[in-house]
Amino acid sequence: MTALPRPIDVLPHRPPFLFVDEVTALEPGRSATGLWRLSGDEWFYPGHFPGRPTLPGVLMCEAIAQLGAVAVLTSAEQTGRLPLFGGLDGARFRRQVVPGDVLTLEVELGRMSARAGKGHGRASVDGQTACECDLMFVLV
């Protein structure tokens, strides 16, 4: 069995903007599953919101996109490329994510070309959907 990559070894993102802590399953160029463990010490919680810390929904979408980038960049055809957001559709937020939660991230890649692609992602806590969205990205 091949070892799963560390997100920091695949992605160009760095703390405090690296949101995928661990890749738990990977099918390069097709899908990935990963985790983001929220300790409560993250930079955004003090201001979002004081007294009721809540993970911003757009950061859940970013975490899904980062996991999608792991799936893209581990594909032999895309090594060395940089996937950038091209669009975000159908984002829905269903549950609050708070300090101490572990966010399970899942992404399935759809249509891919040499220059762009699509994917669908989901973020959940204990099996409850927190966020779902459709991603479009360009490869540079």
Q: For residue 76, how many C-alpha atoms fall within 13 Å in the half-sphere facing its CB?
A: 0
Told to judge if 13 belongs to the known catalytic residues of this protein, a careful annotator would answer: no
| Helical ranges in 1-140 per DSSP H | 7-10, 57-73
* Coil vs helix vs strand at 45: helix
Cα separation of 88 and 59, whole Å? 12
Which residue in 13, 48, 81, 95 is the catalytic one?
48
22-27 and 83-93 beta bridge pairing: unpaired
| Matching residue, tokens 């204990």 | 126
Cα separation of 47 and 5, whole Å? 33
Whether the link from the prior residue into 16 is cis, omega within 30° of 0, is yes
Residues annotated as catalytic (active site), given as ranges? 48
